[in-house]
């Protein structure tokens, strides 16, 4: 069994003069949950369509489960569970009929497994698809992606349209899939949706990979917001240029700054004076993510691009 579930090597996709994806290299390891994050139009769906051979790259290569998405498409699709961002099926069918039909295409799935997934997601299998809400249609999409217990799940914006309770059920399904040895590659534009379940995330913007890291390391990379109040005004010069200090402002007796790394130099400098109050908040991941989104962090401080 291959240890790399997905390997992208200098993959690019142009749509005419429009760039969908630019020189993207990335590896997803077997057995991990990988969050693929980026704002609207970043190139997430383009990447996923390339993995499924729904579109062809302009240059570069993709390997999925060690195989070529083009040459090995039929073999590969049986081993993959795919949820498209724009999942559409015949609305006249009942949800159960549709899933049984799709199960047949995948070589058959025990009916009890479809029923169990539907029950877990509270999906009515007797309802006609056209009568279902967007969220309930998305549940049909999730059942068809998970039902044949594929080695690799490729899910494009899987939580789209789901209410918070169902989102949690979905995240539990992902956690269980990982425990069963499946690999999950899921896209999202919201960090908080993937941070609870993803081992690693990649952030893309304008078709380019901005950073790849473990969720734990991304957290460690986030900086501290610090506010220190002194008994008497302090000279800013004593804090300017201390290691890791940015955005320093001293307003009379109040100092505010960001600290990247150890707070020790700032604490030692502050200790030369009488400190009356101190507040330090960790930048949350959503905030960090926003700096990547907007391009403010084009030079990641200590991340590794895979
Ligand atoms: N068929 C197409 N023809 C022309 N341009 C396209 C096509 N598909 C995508 N693009 C462009 O490629 C870029 C990446 O689009 P893509 O759909 O991959 O982004 P995304 O990250 O999935 O965004 P979203 O979250 O909005 O779905 C966008 O600028 C988009 O306009």
The CB of 44 under 6 Å from ligand 1? The reply is yes
Does the pLDDT at position 87 exceed 50? yes
The CB of 20 under 6 Å from ligand 1? The reply is yes
Cα 275 from chain centroid? 41
For CATH 3.30.70.2470, list the domain ranges present in the chain: 223-282
- pLDDT confidence band for 296 (50 / 70 / 90): low
Separation of CA 194 and ligand 1 centre (Å): 21
Residue having the nearest C-alpha atom to atom 12 of ligand 1: 20
Query: Ligand 1 pocket test: which of 8, 15, 186 has the largest number of ligand atoms within 8 Å of its C-beta?
Result: 15
- pLDDT confidence band for 305 (50 / 70 / 90): very low
Percent of the residues in the chain that have a pLDDT greater than 90, as a whole number? 68
Burial per residue of 183-212, b for 16 or more beta-carbon CB atoms within 10 angstroms, e otherwise:
bbbbbbbebebbbebbbbbbbbbebbbbbb
Separation of CA 252 and ligand 1 centre (Å): 50
Terminal-residue alpha carbon distance, the chain: 21
According to the model, what pLDDT value does residue 2 have? 60
According to the model, what pLDDT value does residue 151 have? 96
Pair 66, 2: CB distance under 8 Å: yes
Ligand 1 atom with the smallest distance to the CA of 13 is: 12
For CATH 3.40.50.300, list the domain ranges present in the chain: 4-219
Separation of CA 42 and ligand 1 centre (Å): 7
Residues listed for the chain = 306
Ligand 1 atom with the smallest distance to the CA of 46 is: 18
Angle formed at CA 17 by CA 13 and CA 20, multiple of 5 degrees: 30
Q: How many CA atoms lie within 13 A of 37 on its CB side?
A: 29
Separation of CA 131 and ligand 1 centre (Å): 29
Greatest alpha-carbon pair distance for the chain in Å reads: 76
According to the model, what pLDDT value does residue 128 have? 94
According to the model, what pLDDT value does residue 172 have? 96
- pLDDT confidence band for 300 (50 / 70 / 90): very low
Q: What is the CATH number of domain 223-282?
A: 3.30.70.2470
Q: What is the mean pLDDT of residues 143-171?
A: 94
Domain 4-219 has CATH 3.40.50.300: yes
Interface predicted TM-score (ipTM) over 0.90 = yes
State the Cα–Cα distance between residues 39 and 164, nearest whole angstrom.
21
- CB < 8 Å & 24+ apart, contacts of 239-242: 239/266, 239/269, 239/270, 242/266, 242/269
According to the model, what pLDDT value does residue 100 have? 94
């Amino acid at each position: 069994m291959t240890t790399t579930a997905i390997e992208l090597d200098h993959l690019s996709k142009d749509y005419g003069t429009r760039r969908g994806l630019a020189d993207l290299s990335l590896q997803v390891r077997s057995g991990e949950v990988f969050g693929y994050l980026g704002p609207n139009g970043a190139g997430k769906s383009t990447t996923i369509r390339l993995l499924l051979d729904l579109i062809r790259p302009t240059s570069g290569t993709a390997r999925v489960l060690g195989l070529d998405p083009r040459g090995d498409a039929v073999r590969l699709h049986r081993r993959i569970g795919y949820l498209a961002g724009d999942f559409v099926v015949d609305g006249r069918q009942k949800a159960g009929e549709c899933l049984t039909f799709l199960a047949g295409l995948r070589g058959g799935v025990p009916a009890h497994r479809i029923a169990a997934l539907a029950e877990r997601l509270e999906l009515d299998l007797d309802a006609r698809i056209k009568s279902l809400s967007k969220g309930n249609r998305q549940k049909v999409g999730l059942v068809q992606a998970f039902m044949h217990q594929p080695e690799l799940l490729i899910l494009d914006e899987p939580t789209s349209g789901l209410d918070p309770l169902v989102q949690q059920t979905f995240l539990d399904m992902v956690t269980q899939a990982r425990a069963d040895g499946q690999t999950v590659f899921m896209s999202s534009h919201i960090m908080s949706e993937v941070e609870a379940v993803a081992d690693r995330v990649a952030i893309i913007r304008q078709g380019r990979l901005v950073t790849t890291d473990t969720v734990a390391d991304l957290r460690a990379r986030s900086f501290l917001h610090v506010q220190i109040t002194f008994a008497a005004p302090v000279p800013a010069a004593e804090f300017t240029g201390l290691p890791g200090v940015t955005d320093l402002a001293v307003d009379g007796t109040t100092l505010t700054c960001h600290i990247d790394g150890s707070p020790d130099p700032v604490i030692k400098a502050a200790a030369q004076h009488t400190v009356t109050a101190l507040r330090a908040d960790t930048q949350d991941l959503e905030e960090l993510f926003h700096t990547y989104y907007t391009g403010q962090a084009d030079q990641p401080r200590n991340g590794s691009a895979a």
